[in-house]
Each structure stands twice: as structure tokens, then as C-alpha cells.
Amino acid sequence: MRVITGTARGKRLKELSGLETRPTTALVKESLFNIVQFDLEGRRILDLFGGTGQLGIEALSRGAAHVTFVELRKEAVRLIRDNLAATKLQDRATVLQGDALAFLSRCRERYDLIFLDPPYDSKLLDQSLESVVGFDILNEHGIIICESTAEKRMPVLPAPYEKGRDYRYGQIQLTAYSRQGSDPGT
């Protein structure tokens, strides 16, 4: 697992052993960053299920201003911090250990881009998506990228949120949502 491009290009990231963490495949990661490539520079990002930290680290390497990583497991939090140190990107990151839904319920920040990649066999994707919308923590014109199994039907969200495309890569699906902005003419 390597950083694809940017200031940390080619840097190898550590992975956790075992099956609890399912790192995003290289193909899916590259496709994800093709989707958001013009929405990274100077942006504030939330990587809600941090895992190894590879999505947020890739965003930082490509010019994101700051990434907040949230991860439940202590060993994964340690790994994210190690990977940030190895890429020299730790000064633009906050790493928090805790439950994702609890974090959302007390979150007072707003983000430009949110990555949601929870364990596939849980209800956490639907719950976290509902919480992001309910607490309205995405800035106007912000983007949410969800990773799920290809057969999962992703919901339509209430305005001002809008469901974009589903992108399929074998057994994996990426779904993009955006938050519409206010009309400057009003």
C-alpha cells in the first residue's frame, strides 16, 4: 500500500495484520481520488473510519489543508499516527480514538469532504450517513464519498444533499453525495 501522488508520492504505508481492517484497494483508491481531484487543495477533510489512514494521507499528500481521522481501535490509531509520521504529514492531521457515531453527535466542525468507509457487514454506513446529514457537518458544495459492497443500494438524501453517481469496481462501490449551496441570486 503506497501513496499514489503528491508530496508523499511512493511512500509505503504500514498495514494492520488480520482481517479487521480492509484497506481500500489501489484501483478503488485511485478512482476515488479521480472523482475528488479538484476538491482537495486547501480543504478540510473527515476520514471517519480511518483504518490505516491511507485515504486521509493521500488527501494530505495531494494538498488538503487538514484531515481529521476517527478510528475506534487503539492499534489502528497508532498505525495512522505512524503512517502520518512516516509521510511527514502529521502537522496537518488530528487523530482521534473513539466511536464514529459518538464523534458525529458531538462534532462542532464542518468539513469540505467526508470519507465513509466502515466495515461492510455493519449498519455503520447508513447510520453515519444519516448522522452527517442530520448534524449537517458538510460545508456547502462539499462531497461525501461512501465505500460499500457493489450490491448495496445507497439512499437518496433530503435537500440540500444530492446523491451523485455510483461507481462500481468489481465487488466494491463508491457513491458520491454533494451538498448544494445557497443560490447567490437570493
Q: Is residue 113 one of the residues assigned to a domain?
A: yes
Q: Is residue 14 one of the residues assigned to a domain?
A: no
Instruction: Report CA dihedral (128, 134, 135, 137) to the nearest 10 degrees.
Output: 70
Q: Is residue 5 one of the residues assigned to a domain?
A: no
Tally the domains of the chain. Answer: 1
User: What are the pLDDT digits (tens) for 100-149?
Assistant: 999 999 999 999 999 999 988 889 999 999 999 999 999 999 999 999 99
CB atoms within 10 A of CB 41: 11
Give the sign of the dihedral formed by CA 78, CA 111, CA 169, CA 31: negative
User: What are the pLDDT digits (tens) for 38-54?
Assistant: 999 999 999 999 999 99
Q: Is residue 72 one of the residues assigned to a domain?
A: yes
pTM above 0.85, yes or no: yes
Give the sign of the dihedral formed by CA 44, CA 177, CA 77, CA 18: negative
Q: Is residue 37 one of the residues assigned to a domain?
A: yes
Q: In CATH, what number is assigned to the domain containing residue 116? A: 3.40.50.150
What is Dmax (Cα atoms) for the chain? 54
Q: Is residue 20 one of the residues assigned to a domain?
A: no
Domain range for 152: 26-179
